[in-house]
Amino acid sequence: MRSKNSIGRIDIWLLIIYLALVTTGLFSIYAAAFNEAHPHIYDFSQNYGKQLMFIGVSLFVGFAILLIDAKFFNVVAYVVYGLSIVCLLLVLVVGSKISGSTSWIQLGPISFQPSEFAKFGTALALAHYLGKIDTDFTKFKTKLISYGIVFLPMLLILAQGDAGSASVFIIFLLVLYREGMGGQILIIGLATATLFIITLCVSKWFIMIGLVVTYAFFLLLIDRTKKNIWLVTGFLIAACAIVFSVDFAFHHILKQHQQTRINIILGKEHDTKGVGYNLNQSMIAIGSGGFSGKGYLKGTMTKYNFVPEQHTDFIFCTVGEESGFVGCFLLIALYLALILRIIYLAERQRSPFSRIYGYGIACIFFFHFAINIGMTIGLVPVIGIPLPFLSYGGSSLLMFSMMIFVFLKQDANRMNIF
Amino acid sequence: MIKNKINYSQRKYVIGSIFILVALIILIKLFIIQIVDDSYKHSSDSNTLRYITQYPSRGKIYDRNGELLVYNDAVYDLMIIPSQAKKIDTAALCKLLNINHSTYINNLNKAKKYSMITPSIFISQITKEEYGRIAEMLYHYPGFYFQIRSIRQYPRPIAAHTLGSIGEVTKPEMDKDSYYKLGDYIGKSGIEKYYEKELRGTKGLKITVVDVHNREKERYMDGACDIMPESGNDIILGLDAELQAYGEYLMSGKTGSIVAIEPTTGQILAMVTSPTYDPNELVGRKRGTHYSQLLNNPDKPLINRAISGTYPPGSTFKMINGLISLQSGVITANTPYPCNGPKSTPIKCTHYHSSPVRLYDAIENSCNPYFWQAFQDMMNLKRFGGTKAAFKFWYDNVISFGLGRTCKSDIPFTVSGNIPTMEYYDKLYHGLWNATTIRSLSIGQGEILVTPLQLANVAAAIGNEGYFIEPHYIKCFGNPDDSVSFEKHIINIDKRHFREVKKGMQSVFEGEHGTARMSAIPDITVGGKTGTAENPHGPDHSIFMGFAPINNPQIAIAVVVENAGFGSTWAAPIASLMIEKYIKGEATRPKLEEKVLTTNNAE
């Protein structure tokens, strides 16, 4: 009886936003992968037909989740997390190579990406761990375990060579911040990122000089107590270490194509035929949409396959070209509504598990949305992560849907938590 | 602990702000590339739209009777898209195309160097016959296809110089007119060059949308932005194909030219230059080879002698001198001058006749002393008050016949010839010269040089009794909306004087001593004058100019046979046959024709 009640109490707005995004995705894939010989959207031999099938599966699974007891996910959080870690280890052994990284597991006709699964698992595990009544984030041990939960799958995915998927886990820092992590970590993180980018753009020796000058400047300004001098000197050494290690990492650890992608974004390289081709074509497609777009199914760049991988990672091009700035604005508004709605709902949870889980998935959606769209318009390097609910692909759609439905279930059940 | 956690709930605003900020950054960037910056729109168009030039069919050229002289024929360019040319059985394809393997590799590499995905010409201008054979088998060879293209064809191998030819545009031509793009054809000479703008028509444009592999997918906006090509205007020439062909036939084996003009209109009826070539040689794949062969031929068949060969007019110039003398008043038709035959000074007579002679006899006998004395008297005429004034009178009248200048019409590359000026003589003789110094002018020698075209025009002017229309090729355009007109020039000499000279020219054919009496045509009264022009390059040129019928001329003609000797032997019979052919439609004197044909001037 209770579960029936909870279904009745699910947040209708979040469900509507979810359905709107999934529908937009289906029609975008239809436009991007349209095949004249198979004009029916339910043609299962085509990508749009398959996506329709994936949507059906996702909705079925979602409905099933709503029927399961809300506490179930809190209970099995570690199991899911552990399973996903096993999968990630497995993929290192038996994974099949698709576009440069071994991140897929092939099970007969079905292939899926454990990294998608791991995001879900990590969100659950983090929520479970931090949501425990006796967890105190001020304790060092708690911090260590929290970081461990986040960075273990990240490192495993990095080991697969899929830096894009691995980068998603960074966003869990925002969840930790919400739960009490020091704001200075975010600021230091941001400063580090800035230093990172500057290192790639400018010669490291120039940065050294800049850092030393700043250091001298600080020494003049502050109270020159012993503690302060050590602190500032410590920052200087850390900054220098970052600069050198970034420089080393960029040139010796990153693969050539990753270096090139970054260089293109930084404007250091121009390459409209090779690696820069995707980005260039993608920006042309979106830019040519203008204010109101070329009209549905009328995008010439989209229709005639000028943008590679358009139905997957570059699906936003279809929206940009065919529906223009208006369409892009509405879609971004829809995503923002989704993320903010989840945060709003998360904040009204009585159970910390539900709240932290909500933040977890909101951050995952945010990261995917920002990085994916940012990449298609040249704001960030080309990182192959899907646009939630829009990109073609069964495992990502199913995972994103499950994240939503689990949260819907938690929210619907919030009144039963005391 | 729980209390501790609640404190952090304010951080939702920080996190929410980060989300909104990032979304705003994305929107700003989108705003820039979608609305502010136009370049993406243009890039998209150039990516996806293919502008395909639709070539109009070039205007056809007809003769005055509607006979087709130039038309367009289809040839086929074998195109290749290198990226699609895979798994080709090279040996079989070479055999099919009748090329060797190295040519195949060569052409393939050239195409690849140009582009892997856009088509380029593999073998150009394959004939219809070959096309049929190759096209049947071409499906075996992906990446190869035929593109139709039109070339000029000439049903009769005549009038090569007049019609001219077309060829691919050069860089300077493209710089001058942005209409032309690489690979376009443009008129290079003759009619094709002068009437290029009318003949070429207007190119059209087909816009298609292509996919990433450059395959055509659909018409852009269903063809709403396409431009249909406009066919070129046809041209009807004043040329008479039969007469032209006959003239070329008569001139075969000789060096020289024939120009025939319709006096009342100034239209060129025939313009023969010999040696000549078949215009079909400068068409198609062999154009380059043939062109250099013609260029290196010692007989210089590419030169149009009718408009760029200059010759001393010799005795034919006596008509003009006679007319000017009459106009000056120094003589009348009946003024007699003595002739001592070969003993005459300072110019001897080359003919035997009674003395004294009057104008008609002087023309009939081509009497040098007569024209010298008339010229001398004119130069010394008191009315002018000096040689220089008299010379100016002579000079002005001479150039009013269109001599000493290029032709101002649709005949390109005409040369001006030469009529010596007063300044020229002043410089040459340091101002000290008189009638005797320039006596050669009286008999059409000396510095005077004319082209056959100019000479034919003089004949037309005399036939017309005092005017001529600037000679030209065109009769009218196929599209009657476009009209053409050419300047009418009035010569400042009285009509009655022309009539006197014409009488003399008639007796050249009909008189007892007439230099062209052997060339008289039954039933047609011809007026004409032979000339035997001395020149520094070798034996005399045989020259004739004339018109017929005498009172209402339908044809004026000039004939020059280089280094052939007497005008009466070669030029006059050829002109006579031409006149008969034009007026009667056939030449009825096989013996004369045979004589003209069987001996060439080289012997």
* Of A205, A223, A254, the domain-final residue: A254
Show Cβ contacts of residue B105 under 8 Å, excluding neighbours closer than 6 positions: none
CB contact under 8 A, A352 and B5: yes
Alpha-carbon distances of B103 from A157, B91, B95, B146, B398, rounded to whole Å: 54, 12, 12, 18, 61
Residue type, A173: L
pLDDT (0 to 100) of residue B346: 83
User: Are A32 and A61 found together in one domain?
Assistant: yes
Same domain for A405 and A292: yes
Per-residue pLDDT, A257: 75
Highest mean pLDDT: which of B112-121, B224-233, B488-497?
B488-497
Give the model confidence (pLDDT) of B296-331 as tens digits: 888 888 899 999 999 999 889 999 999 999 999 889
B chain contacts of residue A281, beta-carbon cutoff 8 Å: 47
In chain B, pLDDT over 70 holds for what percent of residues? Answer: 94
More confident position, B309 or A309: B309
- Mean pLDDT of all residues belonging to chain A: 84
Test B12 with A320 for CB contact under 8 angstroms: no
Closest in A285, A336, A374 to B44, CB measured: A285
Q: Is residue A114 part of a domain?
A: no
Judge if pTM exceeds 0.80.
no
Is residue A265 in some structural domain? no
| Enclosing domain of residue A206 | 186-254
Rounded distance, CA A286 to CA B195, Å?
49
pLDDT, greater one: A336 or A274: A336
- In the prediction, which pLDDT does A43 show? 77
- Is the model more confident about A35 or about B529? B529
Report cis status (omega within 30 of 0) of the bond before A388.
no
Name the token pair of B413: 């590359």
Contact at CB, B15 and A343, closer than 8 angstroms: yes
Enumerate the residues of chain A whose CB falls inside 8 A of the CB of residue B8.
178-180
Residue A59 shares a structural domain with residue A200: no
Three-state SS string over B421-465 comes to: CHHHHHHHCCCCCCCCCCHHHHHCCCCCEECHHHHHHHHHHHHCC
Contact A377 B25 (CB under 8 A): no
Instruction: List the single residue in A with minimal CA-CA distance to B2.
Output: A133
Q: What is the pLDDT of residue B497?
A: 92
Instruction: Find chain A residues with C-beta within 8 A of B2's C-beta.
Output: 133
Smallest CA–CA distance, residue B192 to chain A, in Å, is 42
Whether residue A364 sits in one domain with residue A221: no
Upstream peptide bond of B522 is cis (omega within 30 degrees of 0): no
Q: Are residues A165 and A300 in the same domain?
A: yes
Fold of B241-598: Beta-lactamase (3.40.710)
| Contact residues, chain B, for A360 at CB < 8 Å | none
What are the φ/ψ torsions at residue B166 (nearest 5 degrees)? -115, 155
CB within 8 A of A320, min separation 6: which ones? A285, A286, A287, A289, A293, A327, A328, A376, A377, B30, B34
Answer yes or no: is pLDDT of A385 > 80. yes
Instruction: Determine how many CB atoms are found less than 10 A away from the CB of residue B136.
Output: 10
User: What's the mean pLDDT in A278-304?
Assistant: 82
**Highest-scoring range by mean pLDDT, A407-411, B52-56, B71-75, B230-234:** A407-411
Answer whether residue A105 shows pLDDT above 80. no
Whether B570 has a pLDDT exceeding 90, the answer reads no
- Identify the pLDDT of residue B117: 72
Please check whether residues A53 and A190 belong to one and the same domain. no
Strands (E), A230-281: none
Average pLDDT value over all residues in chain B: 86
Chain A hits for B213, CB-CB cut-off 8 Å, are: 305
Q: What's the whole-number mean pLDDT along residues B186-204?
A: 88
> What average pLDDT does the segment A389-404 reach?
91
Q: Please report which confidence band the pLDDT of residue A81 belongs to, taking 50, 70 and 90 as the band edges.
A: very high
If you average pLDDT over residues B534-543, what whole number do you get?
A: 85
Instruction: Please report which helix (H) or strand (E) contains residue B377, including its range.
Output: helix B368-379
The predicted-structure confidence for B165-188, as pLDDT tens digits, reads as follows 888 888 888 888 888 876 678 888
Q: A344 or B534, which is more confident?
A: A344
- Are A165 and A70 contained in the same domain? yes
Which residues does chain B have within 8 Å of residue A291's beta carbon, measured at their own beta carbons? 34-35
Q: Tell me, what's the pLDDT at B166?
A: 87
Predicted local distance difference test score (pLDDT) of residue B47: 66
Whether residues B40 and A288 touch (CB distance < 8 A) is answered with yes
Residues 377-416 of chain A with CB under 8 A from chain B are 377-379
The answer on A345 and A309 residing in a single domain is yes
The predicted pLDDT at position A101 comes to 56
For residue A384, the model assigns a pLDDT of: 79
- The answer on pLDDT for A397 being more than 90 is yes
**Is A219 found in the same domain as A287?**
no
Task: Report the relative pairing of strands A101-107 and A96-98 from DSSP bridges.
Answer: antiparallel
Q: Where along chain B do its domains lie?
A: 51-153+196-232, 241-598
Query: In this complex, do B5 and A289 lie within 8 Å of one another by their Cβ atoms?
Result: no
Q: Which among A77-86, A288-297, B343-352 has the top mean pLDDT?
A: A77-86
- Looking at beta carbons, which residues of chain B come within 8 Å of A379? 25-26, 29
Q: Is the pLDDT of residue B6 over 60?
A: no
Q: Is the pLDDT of residue B477 over 80?
A: yes
pLDDT band at B602 (very low <50, low <70, confident <90, very high): very low
Determine the pLDDT at residue B465. Answer: 92
A356-385 mean pLDDT = 90
Number of domains into which chain A is organized: 2
A328 to chain B, any CB pair closer than 8 A? The answer is yes
Position A279 scores a pLDDT of 78
With CA atoms as reference, the chain A residue closest to B24 would be A332
B4:A180 CB<8 A: yes
| Domain identity same for A228 and A333 | no
> Could you tell me which of B214, B39, B30 has the C-alpha nearest to residue A305?
B214
Q: Is A304 on the interface with B (CB under 8 A)?
A: yes
Binary contact (B8, A370; C-beta < 8 A): no
A276 Cα to chain B: minimum distance (Å):
15
Q: Range with the lowest mean pLDDT among A206-220, A363-377, B415-429, B516-530?
A: A206-220
Helix (H) or strand (E) holding A5: helix A2-8
Confidence of residue A1 (pLDDT cuts 50, 70, 90): very low
Over range A273-290, report the average pLDDT.
77
Mean pLDDT of A284-312: 80
Nearest 5°: phi and psi at A307? -100, 115
Which of B24, B34, B50, B117 is the mutation pick for testing A, counting most A CBs within 10 A? B34
Do A370 and B26 make contact, defined as CB atoms within 8 angstroms? yes
Select the highest-mean-pLDDT range: A55-64, B98-107, B439-448. Answer: A55-64
Sheet holding B204-210, edge to edge: B49-54, B204-210, B216-219
For residue B275, say if its preceding peptide bond is cis, omega within 30 degrees of 0: yes
- Binned at pLDDT 50, 70 and 90, residue A253 comes out as confident
pLDDT, one tens digit per residue, over B24-48 is 999 999 999 888 888 877 777 766 6
Structural domain contains residue A127: no
Separation between Cα atoms, residue A327 and residue B347, nearest integer Å: 101
Q: What is the distance in angstroms between the Cα of A261 and the nearest Cα belonging to chain B? A: 19
**What is the band of A254 on the pLDDT scale with cuts at 50, 70, 90?**
confident
Evaluate whether residue A122 is within a structural domain: no
Residue A100 has pLDDT above 60, yes or no: no
A51-55, A138-142, A268-272: which range is least confident on average?
A268-272
pLDDT of B360 strictly over 80: yes
Tell me whether residue A104 is in a domain. Answer: no
- A319 and A240 in one domain? no
- Binary contact (A325, B31; C-beta < 8 A): yes
Question: Look-up: residue for tokens 């030819």?
Answer: B165
| Structural domain contains residue A305 | yes
Average pLDDT, integer, range B576-592: 90
Does A362 reside within a domain? yes
Is A105 or B457 the better-scoring residue by pLDDT?
B457
What CATH fold (topology level) applies to the domain B51-153+196-232? Answer: Penicillin-binding protein 2a (Domain 2) (3.90.1310)
Q: Is the pLDDT of residue A248 over 90?
A: no
pLDDT above 90: percentage of residues in chain A:
34
Strand B555-561 versus strand B256-262 pairing type: antiparallel
> Residue B34 and residue A178: Cβ atoms within 8 Å?
no
- Is residue B216 very low, low, confident or very high in pLDDT (cuts 50, 70, 90)? low
ipTM score: 0.87
What residues of chain A lie within 8 A of the CB of B1, using their CB?
Answer: 133-134, 136
- Whether residue A298 is found in the same domain as residue A172: yes
